[in-house]
Amino acid sequence: MEFRASYHGFVDSFEWHFGETGGSSLPFLATSIVGYLTVIFTLQLLLRQRKTAVPLGNLPAIHNLILCLGSLIMFLGALEATISSQLLWLRQGSSKSTYLTAETGYRWLLCFPEDTLPRGRIFFWSYIYYLSKFYELLDTVILVLKKKPLSFLHVYHHSLVVVMCWLWLQYSQSLQTIGLLTNTGIHVIMYWYYFMHSIGHPPPWRKFVTNGQIVQFLFSFTVSIPFVYLHVKESCAGFYAWLYNASFNFTLLLLFFNFHRRQYSSRTKVAKNAD
């Protein structure tokens, strides 16, 4: 009970302040993206003449396990925050200090009121998720050191997902709770697959990982329909941030569909020809 009270006190006190919270400034965001692209393309140039991959030992396995467990922690943290915040706000009723009332029920999952401030439990876990995206950039460095080809999808996603997460916090974007839960959930599965693959025991459900990511994007568009309706009706927080989020997800969906077609359709054709 004491730990739970301390934990809730810590996450409830979180507040995102532009230019003050770590990683919240625009120069930091821009420098991080430019730095990421500079590092990976410089590494590729330096390794161009090298015929073999750089030996990394257990680093890829450890990296993927960290991301798998980290995604699980973020998922459970966001889930606990969602459930406990729902119960707390329902007890508080129509207090103006909250964005959930007994009348709105679970509607806050789709629409934060326009004056919602980025503070409290959900935003704490959105912030941790934002920071985790910088650690995920190591994915690309490992691929380059292993002399694996970099797809446009991979670099594009890692470069711009940090902007999406920054907008979640800066503009208290509605729908971020659902995005946080679905993305961390699928990442638990994805990075577990990568971990098992990196130790030489790849599970037979690689296609399931890709399909899960596609379903995630399709679901994000599904929940956007009631969000837009609520925004027109009563104004929801972070509408313009959502426009970026929706556009980004749409381009990712197209790229994932293309990846799925190239990756699995070609395999099916090879299998048929072999028969």
Q: How far apart are CA 187 and CA 193, in angstroms?
A: 10
Give the burial string for 25-55 (b: 16+ CB within 10 Å, else e). eeeebeebbeebeeebeebeeebeeeeeeee
Summary mean pLDDT of the chain = 88
Is-contact 86 100, C-beta < 8 A? yes
Q: Exposed (0-12), middle (13-18) or buried (19+): which is 103, by Cβ within 10 Å?
A: exposed
Predicted pLDDT at 257: 87
Do the Cβ atoms of 230 and 111 come closer than 8 Å?
A: yes
Determine the average pLDDT of the residues in 70-90.
84
Give the pLDDT confidence score for residue 103 in this predicted structure. Answer: 39
Q: What is the pLDDT of residue 51?
A: 87
Task: For residues 72-100, give the mean pLDDT.
Answer: 70
State yes or no: is 157 an active-site residue: yes
In tens, the pLDDT along 163-203 reads: 999 999 999 999 999 999 999 999 999 999 999 999 999 89
Cα torsion 122, 245, 235, 226: sign? negative
Averaged pLDDT, 94-122: 69
pLDDT of residue 5 exceeding 90 = no
Given a cut of 50, whether residue 99 has pLDDT beyond it is no
Query: What is the structure's pLDDT at 89?
Result: 54
Q: Supply the pLDDT for residue 97.
A: 43
Would you give the DSSP letter of residue 275? -
Among 238, 236, 232, 214, CA closest to 164: 238
The residue that leads in pLDDT, 18 or 97, is: 18
Largest distance between two CA atoms of the chain: 68
Q: Which of 71, 161, 82, 92 has the alpha carbon at shortest distance from 122?
A: 82
> Is residue 271 scored above 70 in pLDDT?
no
Give the tokens for residue 57.
Answer: 């030992």
109 contacts 178 by C-beta, under 8 angstroms: yes
| Interatomic CA distance for residues 140 and 93, integer angstroms | 47
C-alpha span between 46 and 30 (Å, rounded)? 24
Summarised one tens digit per residue, pLDDT across range 213-230 is 889 999 999 999 999 999
What tokens appear for 215 in the block? 């379903």
pLDDT of residue 25: 97
Residue for token pair 């956007």? 224
CB-based burial of residue 230 (10 Å sphere; 0-12 exposed, 13-18 middle, 19+ buried)? Answer: middle
What pLDDT, on a 0 to 100 scale, did the predictor assign at position 6?
Answer: 83
Q: How does pLDDT run across 26-45, given as a tens digit for each residue?
A: 999 999 999 999 999 999 99
The token pair that represents 139 in the structure block: 């994915």
Write down the catalytic residue from 17, 154, 157, 231: 157
